[in-house]
Chains A and B, each alone.
Chain A
């Protein structure tokens, strides 16, 4: 399973765009990149998932360069309620002996200030 590295913490202000970069140098061919958001004492919430290039949904964008060794989660115009821990995960959902388990790192603690 590919190991991920992301900043431990980031600060931002309301209305700014926040970009959190995750490194995954050993990503495998069948691996997908998934980002989760977690508020204190709550379960992680799926934000976005991608394989290559760019993925966008109503919450965020995910940029994945051609070599797929890194990815960037982009949160447009953050608000105070976006203060949370963001996890970047890499893995192949289908490999049977993995059972689709998710390997979480420490995550990035994003603090949005007024």
Chain B
């Protein structure tokens, strides 16, 4: 059973460019969340996708957008890259809870983005 996979593992871009990161959730999961982790900081929530719609969004500008496909995989797009966008981008998948109770998000290995 494959866990969460992300591609690419590393990426180098220059300021102003656009980037697309990809995520395949753990088998059986239908919800995908994206996080940005700057060096030395905890992951920061960007947004979450469920049923191909953005369900929740963190404090990130509109330059950050995403998409979820019918097979539950997801993409994170970042436009007009800034130096400050350099970070580890993490994808986490989970199964949307049907009732109050435990829910665990499983993280992928991340994509390391460097903006020059």
Contact = CB atoms under 8 A, between A and B. Distances in A.
**A contact patch SS:** loop
Given A92-B100, A107-B42, A97 B107 contact: no
A70 interface: no
Given A44-B43, A46-B104, A100-B48, A94 B109 contact: no
B108 A100 contact: no
A43 B108 contact: yes
A58 B60 CA distance: 37
Interface residues of B, number: 34
Contacts of B48: 99-101
A81 B34 CA distance: 27
Given A30-B100, A93-B103, A103 B4 contact: no
Contacts of B100: 30, 92-94
B102 A97 contact: no
Contacts of B97: 93-94, 100
Contacts of A99: 31, 33, 48, 50, 55-56
A43 B92 contact: yes
A42 B45 contact: no
A101 B59 CA distance: 12
A32 B100 CA distance: 10
Interface residues of A, number: 27
A100 B56 CA distance: 9
A103 B67 CA distance: 22
Given A46-B104, A97-B56, 11 more contacts: A42-B109, A45-B107, A92-B100, A93-B97, A99-B56, A100-B96, A101-B33, A102-B43, A104-B43, A104-B44, A106-B41
12 contacts: A41-B110, A43-B92, A44-B43, A51-B102, A93-B97, A99-B33, A99-B48, A101-B33, A102-B33, A102-B105, A104-B35, A104-B43
Interface of A: 30, 32, 34, 36, 41-46, 49, 51, 87, 92-94, 97-107
